[in-house]
Chain A
Amino acid sequence: MEHKDSPQGDLESTLKQSARQLVDSLEKGNFGEAVQLIHELNKARDRGLYQEVGKLTRELHNAIVNFQIDPRVPHATEVSQITDATERLNYVVTMTENAANKTMDLVEQSAPLINELNDEAHSLSADWGRFMRREMSADGFRELAKRVEAFLARSERDSAKLSGHMNDILLAQDFQDLTGQVIKRVTQLVTEVESNLLKLVLMASSVDQIAGIEHNHELLRAEQEQQKMPSSGEGPQIHADKRDDVASNQDDVDDLLSSLGF
């Protein structure tokens, strides 16, 4: 049975066996033997503990090797995977910021072109209406013809420029592909780290069991809760639509505020 192989299993069976012997010895009045048994029990418990601590140390070492951190040189020039992941995420921040700025630059350059074209078209069509209603002199018409000619040339030039800006805006979205790949790799690393940490926690818990250490989880959690600053902000909520304590959109916010008398 696998259970028997585990140190807890060993300890358990030794414990049970010795306990019976202990009771026997005590009932027989054989105190020397009883003390000897207690001593052996202690030894068995210590052995289990050493074994578990040994395993824990080994796992810890493996985890460190997996993260590629050199324990002798914490600030080694060779980057650990965590440092590498941090750099990758910084790269995502830079890429997205650059793309956002580039897009906004182009929009800010395009907006006045469109406004000017619109204003000129508006003014020309008013004058065109006067011409159609024969309310315009020959001189006025010559002036209008010149403006129409200039407007056509300008439309051609500006629409080419606008179309160029549109293309550049499209190209500025190429970050999505690169940042997507980077984020996927970092997510993978986080999952690996989590499962390694979980292994360590499991090992540590068997040490706790043998050593008879108990943690007050509720107290620990309460302490952590207290450390969370309530007003420091949490950032965007994921799965907001599935949670009751989170407003999932502006309508929710408006409803809540109006229920408060806003």
Chain B
Amino acid sequence: MKILIVDDFSTMRRIIKNLLRDLGFTNTAEADDGTTALPMLQSGSFDFLVTDWNMPGMTGIDLLRAVRADERLKTLPVLMVTAEAKRDQIIEAAQAGVNGYVVKPFTAQVLKEKIEKIFERVNG
């Protein structure tokens, strides 16, 4: 299971990386915005994408749309972990095809639940 973590703050990437490792996912890579993440996704064989929303360059919602528009990436499970909490934004992400939405600040338990739920649905 190879996971790409996209967030413009290195501390947040590190927190997510550590939490994922605790959940048994040790194969992770990092990117600091959508512009760097998209080519990584297109060339690497990632199984899962965890992305922030608000980033310079390319935002998480645009990255999500780019992933869904890419023939080879469109089924990639995407979890959004973000401080963006407006109802309109959550609906926007859902319509763009997000698989899970976690608002910051979050707990390890919430992250675990959402990831498990996504894989249940993907595998089921």
Contact = CB atoms under 8 A, between A and B. Distances in A.
Contacts of A29: none
Interface in B84-124: 84-92, 94, 101-104, 106, 110
Interface residues of A, number: 26
Given A233-B84, A247-B85, A247-B103, A108 B92 contact: no
A45 B59 CA distance: 53
A104 B102 CA distance: 22
A256 B54 contact: no
Contacts, number: 75
A104 B104 contact: no
B70 interface: no
A237 to B, nearest CB: 5
Given A234-B86, A235-B83, A246-B85, A257 B53 contact: no
Given A234-B86, A240-B85, A104 B103 contact: no
Contacts of B47: none
A249 interface: yes
Interface in A228-255: 230-237, 240, 245-250, 253
A237 B90 contact: no
A257 B14 contact: no
A245 B88 contact: yes
A97 interface: yes
Interface residues of B, number: 31
Contacts of B61: 231, 233
B94 A234 contact: no
Given A233-B53, A235-B83, A249 B94 contact: no
Contact of B15 (A104, A231, A237, A246): A104
A237 B104 CA distance: 10
A233 B88 CA distance: 11
B18 A104 contact: yes
Nearest to B96: A231
A249 B90 CA distance: 12
Given A231-B62, A235-B54, A240-B85, A256 B90 contact: yes
Nearest to A98: B11
Max count, chain B CB within 10 A of own CB: residue among A108, A236, A256, A260: A236
A247 B89 CA distance: 10
B90 A245 contact: no
Contacts of A107: 18
Given A235-B84, A237-B85, A248-B85, 9 more contacts: A97-B10, A104-B14, A233-B53, A233-B89, A234-B84, A237-B86, A245-B86, A247-B85, A257-B90
20 contacts: A97-B9, A97-B11, A101-B11, A104-B14, A104-B15, A104-B18, A230-B92, A231-B62, A233-B59, A233-B84, A237-B83, A245-B88, A246-B85, A246-B86, A250-B103, A250-B106, A253-B101, A256-B91, A257-B94, A257-B101
Cβ-closest 9 pairs across A and B: A233-B54, A236-B83, A100-B11, A247-B85, A233-B53, A231-B61, A237-B85, A246-B85, A260-B94
